[in-house]
């Protein structure tokens, strides 16, 4: 089979398109032929060698794909040959293996897809897993009516906009261009703020009559994060779920305590909180498959790039141009 292999860490050119033996399923395992492969942030960190849970080299990266079962090992009872499935390497001991034409996994670690589901869209559900847990698991009962989504046209940002809007919440998206603003509105954002056209805090205050929002969802961190506390209503929550611009800097306690007086809260989320919680991971993914099948969510595909051009796919992904989901086709 053809696959992308990493033997050393570095830039996109370390992603080598190679010929490897096609794996065969053992007892309780199935062989999946890939239909589409999602490009996600974790495999860019693996490629660079900066991922906190770095698997040993050499490796095949990739945390998600959609595909079809083409062979079953002995003892397989739940899946059948011809069954379409979603593969999420978050269910595996090592997160990888999806940048390939074929993959072997135990059947209980795969998610069966209903007939008729769009397999290109199904390959983009990893972003929606993050978004679902941010809006459900991580809130721990926190009630919100409005949300400010930073980078609302990105992969997880798109998922947050769609899921929050489907739940009946008011969504304000923050973007960086007219094109991305139009895209965020198309995903369901009620209002959109262009951060390059004025202070985000001032624009949020104007849109909310000075009150602010209940929930801020930020994936960037860095020097700008503490300013977002000023976007919160009096019992608001700021949730950080990434460090695209580095660790948050500044005094968080001082930002929370600055007038006007608010009883604000801060939480930092990582998907690795769920590493030992397979039941909750499964609940999330089954719910997302249901929402995809009934049309409540729709994964917008930015571009389809051949697997052989994985290095180019990573350059596009890291360019900041992607809106929605970038996938590769084997």
**CATH value at residue 214:** 3.40.50.720
Asked, for residue 324, whether it belongs to a domain, the answer is yes
Give the CATH number of the domain where residue 15 resides. 3.90.180.10
Looking at the fold, whether 153 and 20 belong to one and the same domain comes out as no
Same domain, 207 and 153: yes
Determine, yes or no, domain membership for 134. Answer: yes
- Yes or no: say if 45 and 58 are a contact pair by the CB < 8 Å rule: no
Contact criterion met (CB below 8 Å) for 100 and 34: yes
Is residue 187 domain-shared with residue 313, that is, in the same domain?
Answer: no
- β-bridge mates for residue 240, sequence order: 218, 268
Long-range Cβ contact pairs of 199-202 (< 8 A, separation 24 or more): 200/174, 200/227, 200/228, 200/231, 201/227, 201/228, 201/230, 201/231
Query: Is residue 275 left, alpha or beta, with left meaning phi > 0 and alpha meaning psi from -120 to 50?
Result: alpha
Q: Tens-digit pLDDT profile for the chain (330 aa)?
A: 999 999 999 999 999 999 999 999 999 999 999 999 999 999 999 999 999 888 999 999 999 999 999 999 999 999 999 999 999 999 999 889 999 999 999 999 999 999 999 999 999 999 999 999 999 999 999 999 999 999 999 999 999 999 999 999 999 999 999 999 999 999 999 999 999 898 999 999 999 999 999 999 999 888 889 999 999 999 999 999 998 888 888 888 888 888 787 889 999 999 999 999 999 999 999 999 999 999 999 999 999 999 999 999 999 999 999 999 999 999
Q: What is the pLDDT of residue 302?
A: 98
Within a domain: 289 = no
| pTM (predicted TM-score) | 0.95
35 occurs within a structural domain: yes
- 147 and 10 in one domain? no
Cβ atoms of 225 and 267 closer than 8 Å: no
Alpha-carbon torsion (93, 45, 303, 162), positive or negative: positive
69 and 82 assigned to the same domain? yes
Q: Looking at residue 188, what is its pLDDT? A: 97
Q: From 41, 64, 63, 56, select the one nearest 8 (Cα to Cα).
A: 56
| Residue 43, helix vs strand vs coil | helix
Give the number of other CB atoms < 10 A from CB of residue 257.
12
Looking at the structure, tell me whether residues 108 and 151 fall in a common domain: no
Check whether residue 138 and residue 117 sit in a common domain: no
The pLDDT of residue 173 = 98
- In this structure, what DSSP letter does residue 131 have? H
Q: Tally Cβ neighbours within 10 Å of residue 296.
A: 14
User: Taking a C-beta distance cutoff of 8 angstroms, is the pair 215, 236 a contact?
Assistant: yes
Exposure of 253 by Cβ count < 10 A (0-12 exposed, 13-18 middle, 19+ buried)? Answer: exposed
Alpha carbon distance 100, 235 (integer Å):
47
Residues 133 and 119 in one domain: no
Cβ-count burial 212-235 (b if 16+ within 10 Å, e if not): bbbbbbbbbbeebbbebbbbbbee
Number of structural domains the chain divides into: 2
Which residue is it, tokens 């794909």?
65
Contacts by 15-23 with C-beta closer than 8 Å and gap 24+?
15/47, 15/61, 15/99, 15/310, 15/311, 15/314, 17/307, 17/308, 17/310, 20/60, 20/100, 22/101, 22/102, 23/102, 23/103, 23/104
Count the helices and strands in the chain (H runs, E runs). Answer: 9, 15
Distance CA 132, CA 302 (A): 21
Domain assignment of residue 277, yes or no: no
282 within some domain? no
End of a domain among 272, 288, 309? 272
Residue 230: domain span: 127-272
> Are residue 131 and residue 268 in the same domain, yes or no?
yes
Do residues 96 and 151 both lie within one domain? no
pLDDT in the model for residue 258: 80
Residues 8 and 53 in one domain: yes
Q: Are residues 133 and 249 in the same domain?
A: yes
């Amino acid at each position: 089979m053809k696959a992308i292999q990493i033997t050393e860490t570095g830039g996109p050119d370390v992603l080598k398109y190679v010929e490897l033996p096609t794996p065969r399923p053992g007892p309780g395992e199935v062989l999946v032929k890939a239909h589409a492969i999602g490009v996600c942030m974790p495999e860019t960190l693996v490629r660079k060698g900066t991922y906190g849970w770095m698997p040993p080299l050499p490796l095949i990266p990739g945390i998600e794909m959609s595909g079809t079962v083409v062979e079953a090992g002995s003892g397989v009872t739940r899946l059948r040959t011809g069954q379409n499935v979603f593969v999420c390497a978050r269910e595996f001991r090592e997160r990888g293996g999806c940048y390939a034409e074929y993959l072997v996994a135990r059947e209980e670690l795969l998610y069966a897809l209903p007939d008729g589901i769009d397999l290109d869209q199904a390959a983009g559900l990893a972003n929606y897993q993050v978004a679902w847990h941010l809006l459900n698991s991580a809130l721990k009962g926190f009630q919100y009516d409005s949300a400010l989504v930073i980078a609302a046209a990105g992969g997880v940002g798109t998922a947050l906009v769609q899921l929050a809007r489907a739940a009946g919440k008011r969504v304000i998206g923050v973007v960086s261009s007219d094109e991305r603003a139009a895209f965020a509105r198309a995903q369901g954002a009620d209002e959109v703020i262009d951060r390059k056209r004025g202070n985000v805090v001032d624009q949020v205050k104007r849109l909310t009559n000075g009150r602010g929002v209940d929930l801020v969802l930020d994936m960037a961190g860095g020097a700008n994060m503490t300013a977002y506390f000023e976007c919160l209503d009096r019992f608001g929550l700021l949730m950080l779920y990434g460090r695209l611009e580095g660790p948050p800097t500044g005094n968080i306690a001082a930002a929370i305590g600055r007038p006007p007086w608010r009883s604000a809260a801060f939480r930092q989320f990582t998907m690795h909180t769920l590493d030992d919680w397979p039941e909750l991971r499964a609940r999330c993914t089954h719910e997302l498959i249901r929402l995809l099948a009934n049309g409540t969510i729709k994964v917008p595909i930015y571009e389809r790039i051949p697997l052989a051009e994985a290095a180019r796919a990573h350059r596009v992904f890291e360019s900041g141009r992607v809106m929605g989901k970038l996938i590769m086709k084997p």
